[in-house]
Amino acid sequence: MSIESQVSQTQKSTVQIQGQVMTADKAIKRFVPSLTQIDKSIHIITEGVQSTAKRVDTLIDQSETIVQIVVPMGGGDVDQTKLIDHIKDLAGQISAEFEAAVDSGWITMDDLFDTHYVPVPETNPQQHTAKFNRLTDRILPSIQEPALEFDGRIVFCAAVDRNGYLPTHNVKFSKRQGPDPAWNSANCRSRRIFNDRVGLRAGLNEEPFLLQVYRREMGGGKFVMMHDLSAPITVRGRHWGGLRMGIGF
């Protein structure tokens, strides 16, 4: 093929490419408004979901408030009242044990209320240590483990501090972490910070008890609906956290 023919062929190819580019450009310009509309729709849907979630949270808060008012007046059912009385008694036992440890010099108030959580390397989900871990490992199992036998619906019973930090869980949820984060999430729950809405409210609540409803994350995208019943733990008049009890439906 001569040079003239090659140049001519190249020019034709260039013209074809330019035409294809222009066609693609027009298609993109036609598609942009659709993308914009899709983006707006996504924002509207997101806002709607968030608004619905807020309304659900408000309804839950209102129902929980009603329970807080009705039960002390004798309006709760027998099973519910039994569990509430039990969690309050157990939280009182922990308060007494913590206070005795401080009085004996086993631990200082500063260390018992330590919030400088130290991350445990190579843990997933992240675990932390605190200065009061040895104390909770010594005291809590003898109170928390028997609680699991009190009622067949009780799934767990564990104390958390005001920040949702859970130092010592039940034995069945205190396994050593492995390579699978989903398995760890379900089975290795000691030394973790549960600062979700339910965990924080349980730790911060100073009323005689708090009954909440929530979806408990079990790892691997699995959730179970539960009641979360808690009662405050205090030491020398200072609020340390709360004792949580997970109750299945």
98-109 confidence digits (pLDDT tens): 999 999 999 999
Identify which of 246, 148, 243 has the alpha carbon closest to the alpha carbon of residue 202: 243
Tokens of 230: 């808690």
* Measured distance CA(246)–CA(228) in Å, rounded: 5
How high is the pLDDT of residue 121? Answer: 97
Asked if pLDDT for residue 53 goes beyond 60, the answer is no
Q: Give percent of the chain above pLDDT 70.
A: 68
Is residue 225 very low, low, confident or very high in pLDDT (cuts 50, 70, 90)? confident
d(CA 7, CA 66): 86
How crowded is residue 12: how many other Cβ atoms within 10 Å of its Cβ? Answer: 10
Q: How far is CA 66 from CA 59, 62, 83, 214, 241, in A?
A: 11, 6, 17, 17, 23
Q: How far is CA 247 from each of CA 10, 17, 29, rounded to the nearest angstrom?
A: 77, 68, 56
Q: Where are the alpha helices (DSSP H) in the chain?
A: 3-70, 78-103, 109-112, 133-139, 141-147, 181-187, 197-204
Q: Output the CA angle 103-105-109, nearest 5 degrees.
A: 75
Please state, in angstroms and rounded to a whole number, the distance separating the CA atoms of residues 216 and 210. 17
- 73-132 residue pLDDT tens: 455 565 788 999 999 999 999 999 999 999 999 999 999 999 999 999 999 999 999 999
List the structure tokens of 62.
Answer: 């209102």
Express as a percent the part of the chain with pLDDT over 90: 61
* DSSP string computed for 115-176: --PEEPTT-SS--EE-TTHHHHHHHTHHHHHHHTTT-TTEEEEEEEETT-EE-S--GGGBPP
Tally of residues, the chain: 249
